Structure 1
Amino acid sequence: MSKESLIAAKELKRLQSYPVQFERFMKSHVSRLLKSNLVAVLAELQRQNLVFLSLKLYDAVRKEIWYRPDMFFYTDMLMMLARNKKVDEAKRVWEDLKQEEVLFDQHTFGDIIRAFLDNGLPSEAMDIYDEMRRSPKSPLSLPYRVILKGLIPYPELRKKVKDDFLELFPDMVVYDPLEDLFKHQERRRESEED
């Protein structure tokens, strides 16, 4: 990150509790950052899981004249939102990418779905899975395997994806780690009892 980017990130964090000064800083300084600096500030805010600030910069980037819809731009936002369990914000970002007709490749779909699963958001993960199934991109086996592993704690959902996998790739075998299945089911039951 450049010195200008570091200063901008620091000031944004400092001013986030002061709406008037924050907006003034966004207009006077952030809007004048070079493309690489603006993107670097956004990446740093995402890395720090600063959701509010990341969304502000996300909106600022999308308004720039040089902005072009990009799969990686959206992937980074969705991964950060999944880590922070921000469902409404993730739905908003998903709607934006659909409007801009951004297409994910199958590996990226698998990674995003897995991020939502790993952060305890199976319903949202399955919504994205449905989008993956409707994608015009040819299905690949590896993303399905990544998703299936993430679905071990959710046997009902795993069965659905496993059936889809076997339909798409009839000559392949799905490994069902019995010990893992039983451990996750046992942990889930214990947490529900608490």
Structure 2
Amino acid sequence: MLSFSVGPCPRLQGRLPPLSLARPRAWSFHAPLRIQCGIRRAGARKPLWRDRVMSTEAIQVVQALKFAKVSSSSSFSPHRVDNVIDARFGRLLKADQLAVLDELQRQNEWQLALQVFAFVQKELWYKSDSALYGNLIFMLGKNKLIEQCEDLFSEFQKEKLQPDTRVYTEMIGAFLQANMVEKAMEKYKSMKELGTNPDKLTLTILIRNLEKVGLHDLASNVRKDCADFVEYPEKFLEKVDKNYPKRKSLKIV
């Protein structure tokens, strides 16, 4: 009977890399984020800044801020919140600070978000960012806090002189949320006069909401503007009409 012995080939010794018995690293995959702005359908908003899982420290700070928000008398306690911001939030890295800010907005904790944002503005790394302002105005607009929206808009003008399309769009959306159509149209007019072009989202928000409240003449004017600001305006308007069909009015005889 023939016997064989299996062992390393002398010719290959020293040429092959050593085998590793370590367990393969687990990878996590995240679906692409869908950024939303302006007036949209109801539903939880995906975090903007979280391209990774929040750190344990960031999660703990969010919980600590929410716990500090309500005192024993069940009223908002800004001093307790300030203490948490100074002692714990200020020690976070930039990425974690932004993650905390976005998570507070996602949970509609607008009071906490404004306090945290005020702290962020004092950080050495902070630079005026239209995305930050746009997110905050969107959050405040959902809660119909128009005065706070206008304050942020004015503050952004002081920091960056001229708001961009995103900030204008969120401001217009906030006015429409509060049924302040005249102010929304004034902001839209100012936007165009100052050379900031509306985009498809701006136009969709205006057309949808103006027609919703029966202001078809104003909506018609916005539709005409599509020829100046949108490539292939006919196709764009067809898509708007398909996604947001007009309600038919019933005549009772």
Same topology, TM > 0.5: yes
**Equivalent position of 1:3 in the other structure:** 56
Residues 1:23 and 2:90 are matched in the alignment: no
- 1:180 aligned residue: 247
Aligned to 1:96: 155
Identify if the C-alpha distance between structure 1 residues 48 and 124 changes in structure 2 by more than 3 Å, giving closer, same or farther: farther
CA distance in 2, matches of 1:15, 1:146: 37
Unaligned runs of 5+ in 2: 1-53, 71-76
Do residues 169 (structure 1) and 227 (structure 2) align?
yes
The answer (yes or no) to whether the contact 2:133–2:152 under 8 Å persists in 1 is yes
Residue 88 of structure 2 is aligned to residue 35 of structure 1: no
More off after superposition, 29-38 vs 142-151: 142-151
The separation in 1 between residues aligned to 2:210 and 2:86, in whole angstroms, is 44
| Identical columns (%) | 25
Deviation by residue 1:138-180 (Cα, 9 ceiling, x = unmatched): 4556632442112223334x52353254267389566788952
Q: Quick check: which one's helix share is greater?
A: 1
Offset, 1:92: 1.0
> After superposition, where does 1:1-194 map in structure 2 within 5 Å?
1-17=54-70, 18-101=77-160, 103-106=162-165, 109-110=168-169, 113-114=172-173, 116-118=175-177, 120-140=179-199, 143-156=202-215, 158-163=216-221, 165-166=223-224, 169=227, 179-180=246-247, 182=249
Instruction: Give the Cα–Cα distance (whole angstroms) in 1 for the partners of residues 117 and 222 of structure 2.
Output: 35
TM-score of the pair, normalised by structure 1: 0.76
The root-mean-square deviation of aligned C-alpha atoms, in Å, is 3.2
- The alignment covers a number of residue pairs equal to 183
Structure number with greater Rg is 2
Structure 1: tracts of 5 or more residues without a match: 187-194
